[in-house]
Amino acid sequence: MNILIPLFSIIILCFLNIVLSYKGKKLYWLYESSHFVGGFLLAALLFNFMGKNLVLLTTLIVSFVWEIYELIINRNRKIKRLFEDKFRYHITPSTFSDTILDILLNVLGAVFYLYLF
């Protein structure tokens, strides 16, 4: 598969989430489905460079890093305020169950891609 399609799709998905982030909990399921789609697209991108097992492991690692990034922003008021004021990017406070669900959806998206292709 061409790497440009999943790469640009990931960029569009991130941009969409940033633009709509001010809606908060109103679009909760959009954000959750974005994790599944993001895992799917990341697997599509990574599959061009590595095997199935490594794609799953890399997706899991990227998911953990992303959730750590969200946790750091939620805990640091200065960084959070910078993102909200300068970029209008709002990150809702994370909970343990939300973090686990996000990681699970990312990995399930990657598994679904690997199942299809």
The pTM (predicted TM-score) of the whole model is 0.89
Nearest partner of 3 among 46, 40, 36, judged by Cα: 46
CA distance 82 to 73: 10
State the Cα–Cα distance between residues 11 and 58, nearest whole angstrom: 18
User: Domain limits of the chain?
Assistant: 4-116
Residues 6+ apart with CB under 8 A from 34: 13, 16, 17
For 62-110, write each residue's pLDDT tens digit. Answer: 999 999 988 888 888 888 888 888 878 877 787 889 899 999 999 999 9
Provide φ and ψ at 50, rounded to 5°.
-150, 170
